[in-house]
């Protein structure tokens, strides 16, 4: 497919038809947004914060792009050419005036620019820039230039989905039941180890599940940190957990693909008998309240991963 030709065709169509906001500018949405952002300015009772302009014309959780939407059309072209990934976007917004409660917005979008292919650290990609204008009636009230890099993921060992599916999941207790099955170190996502977490990973290497304990007041805490939230002491110690707990909550991860893992897999939030909660992979059919025990899986000499399985003796 000729990407530049397709881009020119879409750009030539100009602005899409105006898309109406689902609701007029309204106070409940303004309050929700201010809370989410953490903005306590008391002035937004009759006008909306300018930066939430895009909120008003969001299509909602199950929204569909319109057929003449140029961004959607260009994304489809690039998806079909193998440029399937997005890592970050950039928005430049211009506000012409405050929006008043009760005003009904609409938005139009055109494709401004498509440049590529560019070599980036992530892989080869195209920069796509669109321009949107928000309207109240025929008055332009705000504009946005939106840029996105669509790229072909570079072929990193262990990240290609078909290759990963032939590799044993790095942390499943199934691998551990044959004591220790080393998996390819390149296939697994490795934890970042620092001064605060080193004791934990040293523990798993020795078959110990260590829980950070405040050197001042004795409070147990997890995940580890440099300072006690209770008393402020900065010299933590640890205790070795018995390795038993119950599933407090869990998720079944289906998407996206994770290097070295087969989906779906279960990540459980386990409440240890000692009282703190800890995340880890769980091997089995999870249910809240289920008794579990820790399993250690040696990945290589440096890394042993803890995970969970149903407690054998209950």
Q: What is the binding site for Zn ion (CB under 5 A)?
A: 214, 216-217, 219, 228, 230-231, 233
Nearer to Zn ion among residue 239 and residue 246 (C-beta): 239
Rounded distance between C-alpha atoms, residue 112 and residue 130, angstroms: 5
| H helix and E strand count, the chain | 6, 15
Minimum distance between the CB of residue 202 and Zn ion, rounded to whole angstroms?
22
Nearer to Zn ion among residue 114 and residue 214 (C-beta): 214
Copy the structure tokens of residue 140.
């332009």
Nearer to Zn ion among residue 130 and residue 212 (C-beta): 212
Label each residue of 210-224 as H, E or C. EEEECCCCCCEECCC
Minimum distance between the CB of residue 228 and Zn ion, rounded to whole angstroms?
3
Minimum distance between the CB of residue 231 and Zn ion, rounded to whole angstroms?
3
Rounded distance between C-alpha atoms, residue 93 and residue 53, angstroms: 9
Minimum distance between the CB of residue 214 and Zn ion, rounded to whole angstroms?
3
Minimum distance between the CB of residue 208 and Zn ion, rounded to whole angstroms?
22
Copy the structure tokens of residue 223.
């995940």
Among residues 230, 191, 204, the alpha carbon closest in space to that of 297 is found at: 204
Nearer to Zn ion among residue 274 and residue 293 (C-beta): 274
Nearer to Zn ion among residue 122 and residue 233 (C-beta): 233
Contacts of 191 (CB under 8 A, 6+ apart): 197, 201, 303
Interhelix angle 3-12/70-80, rounded to 10 degrees, is 170
């Amino acid at each position: 497919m000729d990407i530049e030709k397709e881009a020119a065709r879409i750009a030539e169509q100009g602005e899409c038809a105006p898309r109406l906001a689902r609701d007029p500018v309204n106070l409940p949405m303004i309050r929700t947004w201010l809370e989410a952002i953490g903005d306590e300015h008391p002035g937004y009772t009759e006008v909306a914060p300018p930066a939430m302009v895009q909120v008003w014309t969001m299509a909602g959780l199950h929204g569909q792009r319109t057929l003449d939407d140029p961004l959607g059309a260009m994304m489809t072209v690039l998806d079909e050419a193998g440029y399937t990934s997005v890592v970050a976007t950039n928005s430049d917004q211009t506000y012409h005036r405050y929006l008043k409660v009760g005003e009904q917005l609409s938005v139009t979008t055109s494709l401004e620019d498509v440049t590529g292919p560019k070599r980036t650290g992530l892989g080869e990609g195209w920069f796509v820039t669109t321009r949107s204008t928000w309207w109240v009636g025929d008055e332009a009230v705000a504009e946005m230039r939106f840029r996105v890099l669509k790229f072909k993921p570079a072929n990193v060992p262990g990240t290609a989905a078909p290759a990963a599916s032939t590799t044993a999941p790095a942390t499943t207790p199934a691998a551990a039941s044959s004591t220790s099955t080393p998996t390819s170190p390149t296939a697994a996502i490795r934890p970042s180890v620092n001064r605060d977490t080193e004791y934990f990973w040293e523990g798993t290497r020795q078959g110990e599940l260590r829980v950070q304990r405040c050197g001042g007041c004795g409070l147990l805490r997890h995940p580890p940190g440099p300072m006690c939230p209770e008393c402020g002491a900065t010299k933590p110690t640890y205790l070795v957990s018995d390795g038993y707990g119950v599933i407090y909550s869990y998720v079944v991860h289906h998407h996206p693909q994770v290097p070295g893992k087969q989906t779906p897999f279960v990540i459980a939030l386990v409440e240890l008998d000692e009282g703190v909660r800890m995340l880890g992979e769980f091997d089995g059919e999870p249910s809240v309240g289920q008794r579990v025990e820790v399993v250690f899986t040696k990945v290589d000499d440096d890394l042993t991963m803890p995970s969970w399985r149903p407690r054998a003796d209950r």
